[in-house]
Amino acid sequence: MSREEIYRQMRDMLGVVPSFFKSLPDSSLELEWELFQQVQFKEGPIPNKYRELIGIAIAAARGCPYCAFFHTEVAKLNGATQEEIEDAVHFAKSSVGWSTYLNGLQIPLEEFKAEVLKACEHVRQQQLVGAGK
């Protein structure tokens, strides 16, 4: 497909040809556009709203203002509320904080895994008891 045909698809879908696509070489433009549409807009096993909330969390943890803005706006397009966006960012903050702590103290990985599996099994058993099984 020619650059102009790809740009026409972008204008039809987005109303604009994003400048970050204009910077791509001809050799990868079509592939990047197809991948962008597939990953960012087509339905997948994870609903788009939740994928975008994941994107917000990743962008926040990485400190990328471009991705944070993009994923926040697209999450809103997909029905995300401000409360859901805040929750995703808070989850990222907690995850990054614990990761920093565990790595910094060099907590033994095998011990950590064993404890997580034990805790998950305990919770599973509690859920069964609560469900009357």
When pLDDT is cut at 50, 70 and 90, the band that residue 132 belongs to is confident
* Rounded distance between C-alpha atoms, residue 130 and residue 41, angstroms: 39
Residue-level pLDDT at 67: 96
pLDDT of residue 131 exceeding 90: no
Radius of gyration of the chain (CA): 21
Residue-level pLDDT at 47: 95
Domain positions in the chain are: 1-42
Mean pLDDT of the chain: 95
Residue-level pLDDT at 95: 95
When pLDDT is cut at 50, 70 and 90, the band that residue 97 belongs to is very high
What average pLDDT does this structure show over 75-89? Answer: 97
Q: Per residue in 17-70, pLDDT tens? A: 999 999 999 999 999 999 999 988 898 999 999 999 999 999 999 999 999 999
Phi then psi for residue 78, to 5 deg, are -95, 15
Tell me the CA end-to-end span of the chain in Å, nearest whole number: 59
